Amino acid sequence: EDKVVQSPLSLVVHEGDTVTLNCSYEVTNFRSLLWYKQEKKAPTFLFMLTSSGIEKKSGRLSSILDKKELFSILNITATQTGDSAIYLCAISGAGSYQLTFGKGTKLSVIP
Amino acid sequence: DTGVSQDPRHKITKRGQNVTFRCDPISEHNRLYWYRQTLGQGPEFLTYFQNEAQLEKSRLLSDRFSAERPKGSFSTLEIQRTEQGDSAMYLCASSPGLAGARNEQFFGPGTRLTVL
């Protein structure tokens, strides 16, 4: 059974700090790993990662995948209060398009 | 707005009643997914359609749950004889259905179900 473990489960930082969110996984025949941001509504797509060692970047957010060690990290630099949200990590295995999600990391950015 | 839409956004019902939710995917997407999310948890997969064909169903999808996508466009999720444990956010997502790995899923706003 596919499994995703995210850490930490919650995190409080001050504006301007840099944070690293962790995602480890177990999956049969890895297809892709996805990161989503969830505020008080549905998850919004951030990144899809399929290859090890290739950083995906969007503004202050970046993510990288290590398929050998079975984990991914999501970095947010110069955090802002608008980054406060739950960040979800999900994986997809070959032969299936369903996503298996972790419980998420709740990030709180305080002024 | 060309995103995924869901209706209704909120539903309150009494235990034992039937409810039906609707999802309209992004128009060019041929894959459609249903997930359920409870407080403190990530979304859990329920079922998935490619066009009108239901290709996967989770063990979470008891026989009280049924989903359809009759014309390969919108989808409905029906829950019969609702139970309090069905209270959750029901999320719909769609993806392009391209060959290969590029199939990021885009989520709708969800339907929050409360069973009294």
Is residue A31 a contact partner of residue A48, using CB atoms and an 8 Å limit? Answer: no
- Closest residue of chain A to B110, computed from CA coordinates: A42
Residues of chain B with pLDDT > 90, as a percent, come to: 78
- Whether residue B101 has pLDDT greater than 60: no
Q: Is A88 on the interface with B (CB under 8 A)?
A: yes
Tens of pLDDT, residue by residue over A1-49, are 889 999 999 999 999 999 999 999 999 888 899 999 999 888 999 999 9
Query: According to the 3-state scheme, what is the secondary structure of chain A?
Result: CCEEEEECCEEEEECCCCEEEEEEEECCCEEEEEEEEECCCCCEEEEEECCCCCCEEECCEEEEEECCCCEEEEEECCCCHHHCEEEEEEEEECCCCCCEECCCEEEEEEC
CB proximity under 8 Å: B 60-79 to A:
none
pLDDT of residue B71: 86
Q: Is B40 on the interface with A (CB under 8 A)?
A: yes
pLDDT of residue B1: 54
Tens of pLDDT, residue by residue over A51-87, are 888 899 999 999 999 989 999 999 999 999 999 999 9
How close B98 comes to chain A (CA, Å)? 11
Q: Is B31 on the interface with A (CB under 8 A)?
A: yes
Tell me how far CA of residue A73 lies from CA of A3, A64, A85, A103, in angstroms: 16, 6, 16, 15
